[in-house]
Amino acid sequence: MTLQLNVNGQNHQVNVSDGSMPLLWVLRDLLGLTGTKYGCGIEVCGACTVMVDGQPELSCDLDVTSAAGRKIVTIEGLSANRSHPVQQAWVAGQVPQCGYCQSGVIMTMACKMKAGARGSDAVKEVKNLCVCGTYQRMKEASKTI
């Protein structure tokens, strides 16, 4: 089956054998966008968070058929040069340790801010898990946004 996806402002035709294939695997394996991470696979950790039509979505559970025709933004498409306010705050605050979960956290924060939340309020709504425990750094960095 061939589907049309709009990812990071570009249209892509993807061929999948099963329309229930998670968007995560399409992004990583078919489009080569590896910034979105696989964490738990059961909608708990948030490492796979992407923006779909301006809302945070867990790409490990969103099937590619449901994503077709919608505007998808991954961490690679959030800004061309890491100029998004969340990215800048994360770098300035040295938030990541291992960094594995951070693309999902940043995408969740960006979605919350797009919906009108300020940085320090948006971080309170982030439910993503971080094994390194950088929550305090996230909280401090969000105050600068």
CATH code: domain of residue 18: 3.10.20.30
| Residue 61: its H or E element | none
Q: What is the residue-wise DSSP string for 16-46?
A: -S-TTSBHHHIIIIIS--TTS----SSSSS-
Residue 98: domain span = 85-142
Please give the tally of structural domains in the chain.
2
* pLDDT tens for each residue of the chain, 145 residues long: 999 999 999 999 999 999 999 999 999 999 999 999 999 999 999 999 999 999 999 999 999 999 999 999 999 999 989 999 999 999 999 999 999 999 999 999 999 999 999 888 889 989 999 999 999 999 999 999 9
Tell me the pTM: 0.94
Find out whether 58 and 49 touch, Cβ atoms under 8 Å.
yes
What does DSSP say about strands 55-58 and 49-52: parallel, antiparallel, or unpaired?
antiparallel
User: Within 10 Å of residue 34's Cβ, how many Cβ atoms?
Assistant: 14
- Identify whether residues 65 and 34 lie together within a single domain: yes
